[in-house]
Amino acid sequence: MPKAAHWYGLAGVIVVLDQLSKWLVLENLRFGETVYVAPFWNWVLTFNPGAAFSFLADQPGWQRWLFTALALGISGWIAVMLRQQPQQKLLSLALTLVMGGALGNVIDRVRFGAVVDFIQWHAAGFYWPAFNVADSAITVGAILLVVEQLTATNKKENPQ
């Protein structure tokens, strides 16, 4: 049976992978430089002082601390949830992904005042906003939370 420490360890791995990927990008790309990877994929170094989709990125700097406090608060709440229910594997995995991603982006906000983004997808002239490993973990975690809630609801409605 998984323990909370296992989930915390996985969150730590996510933070390390996120920070390692960002270090590699910072060492090898200049700001705004684009490197072609595939017809739908580029590497591009950008800094996002806002949240997802550059929400509040145009503000004078207060959002840095707001998003840092939110991410730390949510991560603290997740840590408590993981201690209370570590055996619920899908829920715990989802929460762990969100926590690891949130903490990876917090490190950037503290170090740089913005989140380092570098993965850019595009198709037919439309470009998805650049993102990073932490953002990917948060997104997958959020999707898994929805799946977990839908399957938990079905189990309650259809007990066998």
Share of the chain above pLDDT 90, in %: 74
Side-by-side strand order, sheet with 126-127: 34-38, 41-48, 115-123, 126-127
Does the annotation mark 18 as catalytic? no
In this prediction, residues 130-156 reach a mean pLDDT of 90
Ranges of each domain in the chain: 4-29+52-157
pTM of this structure: 0.87
Does the annotation mark 135 as catalytic? yes
* Of residues 10, 50, 58, 74, the one with CA closest to residue 131: 50
Rounded (to 5) percent helix, strand, coil in the chain: 60, 15, 20
* pLDDT tens-digit series, residues 40-64: 999 999 998 777 666 555 565 677 7
